[in-house]
Amino acid sequence: MSSTVAQDRLTGRAWAVLFVLCGAIFLEGIDVSMMGVALPSIRAELGLSTSELQWVVSAYVLSYGGFVLLGGRAADLLGRRRMFVGWLAVFLLFSGLGGFATEGWVLILARFVTGIAAAFMTPAGLSIITTTYPEGPQRTKALLVYAGTAAAGFSLGMVVGGLLTSIDWRWVFFAPVVLAALLLVGAVTLLPREKRPGRREHGFDLAGALTLTGAMLLLVATVVRAPDVRSGQTITTLIAGVLLLGLFVAIERRVAAPLVRLGILRNLPLVRANVGAILLVGSFVGFQFVTVLYLQELRHWSELETGLALMVIGIDSVLAPTLTPRLVNRFGNGPVIFGGFMLAAAAYALFLPIGADWAYVAMLPTLILLGLAFSLAYGPLTIAATDGVAEEEQGLASGVLTTSFQFGSALGLAVVAAVLAAADELTLDGFRTALVVPLVAAGLGLLATIPGRRGKPAMA
């Protein structure tokens, strides 16, 4: 397609392809954030305990975080279009199964498989962009639109989740089925066909895939479950995860065709971008969790009222594809990312003195600044994490970035949950203490993404 697209502009077909790929990342983002609003209604109807209920979220996080690197490499080795279309269909089927669930274990199983589908679908979609649109203005524009759509899906999911849950929580599962079906038709029709991947002399690195997936599952499980289990169990799963990760590294150093070329981690801009991704999303998810509990448990706002209150964060969906490209073209990725973290840190600091009867107007500056922060940082981080990576490893780089976003979500949620759990009950002081976590994360993000000397962007 790159030969048919003008040097600096996207053709109608190029926009149509981008629309399909953006629809998939919007679907993934909105699916994650809608769930938080629906959990109380799910528990009420299915009779789940608190421990069982958390697995509705954790099953998705664990499977997504554990399989996404394998998904990225599978896109490179088995075909990006094939992986995207096939796993989008799986996503559709198991999201629908979740909507029909009458038992908790069925719902949890559906969420687990849906997470696996997202883990294969998402890096395939991102690597289609980075290999279809030539490096330069076209790819930058496509990635910023894609990242803005992802951020919009994530931030607007609270609103949509509140609206759908007010009708019936099952629509939180059925609505993605409708969108996925439309996207599937578009993907089959519009996505460029690839040459069938040739037979690999050394085959697929199955040992590396299994050890890496096992390590990711254990490490993510350690973070997600830490607030709810004894310290001994946390230490055990952490050690097991680290040991499996060490075994994976040993395998990758010896195998003829490694799943992950370890040399890619010598790419400093890629590493810094992924650290920034962990801290950006982790801080936001932690803040969102605390804010939802504050509004619903302490202030007794409804799910719909909470979703509407957070809707203003969705301004990133407008600014990311319009304002951010201009700023990146003028200043480079590094300064724009750094500016995003500055706004995020300011937003969290402004929310620290929350009161028991705070008016919405007092919360509004934080929510607006968060929308601005996401619009500035999310897209440029995506560019920095894939820029300069060889075409045959774009799926791997995309998988690493998606892993960082997912691990950041789990980490941010787990840490604030642990802080809140330290208090026997949800109090205003407990909320204020938990709000320090996203502020610290944003501060660390500033350190990780500070531009280089003489104004040269560290992640240009």
Cβ atoms 385, 394 nearer than 8 A? no
Determine which helix (DSSP H) or strand (DSSP E) holds 378, and give its type and residue range: helix 360-386
Q: Please, which pLDDT band fits residue 206 given cuts at 50, 70 and 90?
A: confident
| Count of positions (residues) in the chain | 460
Q: Where are the domains of the chain?
A: 12-191, 206-260, 263-451
**Residue 5: pLDDT band with limits 50, 70, 90:** very low
What digits encode the pLDDT tens for the residues 295-337? 877 888 887 787 788 878 877 767 777 788 788 888 888 899 9
Question: pTM for the full model?
Answer: 0.76
Query: What is the pLDDT, as a whole number, of residue 1?
Result: 44
pLDDT of residue 27: 86
The pLDDT, as a whole number, for residue 6 is 46
Q: Which two tokens stand for residue 18?
A: 């981008």
Nearest alpha carbon to residue 165 among 155, 151, 175: 175
DSSP H helices in 168-267: 171-190, 206-225, 231-254
Average pLDDT over residues 81-102: 92
Q: Is the pLDDT of residue 280 over 90?
A: yes
Q: Decide if pLDDT at 53 tops 70.
A: no
- Shared fold status for 12-191 and 263-451: yes
Positive or negative: CA dihedral 19, 22, 28, 32: negative
Q: What CATH class does 12-191 carry?
A: mainly alpha
Please say whether the beta carbons of 324 and 148 come within 8 A.
yes
More confident residue, 203 or 58: 58
Percent of the chain having pLDDT more than 70?
Answer: 89
Q: CA dist 107 to 121, 166, 293, 386, Å?
A: 21, 20, 23, 35
CA angle 31, 269, 132 (to 5 degrees): 60
Q: Which token pair is 51?
A: 């421990």
> Any idea which of 52-66, 161-175, 226-240, 279-293 has the lowest mean pLDDT?
52-66
Residue 203 has pLDDT above 70, yes or no: no
Domain 263-451 in CATH 1.20.1250.20 = yes
Instruction: Please compute the mean of the pLDDT values over residues 232-246 and round it to a whole number.
Output: 91
pLDDT tens-digit series, residues 348-378: 999 999 988 899 999 999 999 998 998 899 8
For the stretch 255-269, pLDDT in tens is 877 777 778 778 888
Q: What is the DSSP letter of 359?
A: -
Is residue 100 over pLDDT 70? yes
Tell me if residue 412 falls in helix, strand or coil. helix
CA 153, 222, 97, 169 torsion-angle sign: negative
Helix-strand-coil split of the chain, %, nearest 5: 80, 0, 20
112, two tokens: 């687990």
Higher pLDDT, 117 or 410: 117
Our measurement of the distance from residue 318's CA atom to the centroid of its chain's CA atoms, rounded to an integer in Å, reads 19
CB 134 within 8 A of CB 97: no
What's the mean pLDDT in 80-90?
Answer: 92
Indicate if the pLDDT at residue 459 is higher than 60: no
Q: Which residues contact 110 (CB under 8 A, 6 or more apart)?
A: 94, 95, 97, 98, 101, 173
Q: What is the pLDDT of residue 388?
A: 76
Q: What one-letter code names the amino acid at 169?
A: W
| Mean of pLDDT values over 406-428 | 76
* Cα–Cα distance for residue pair 204/209, rounded to 1 Å: 9
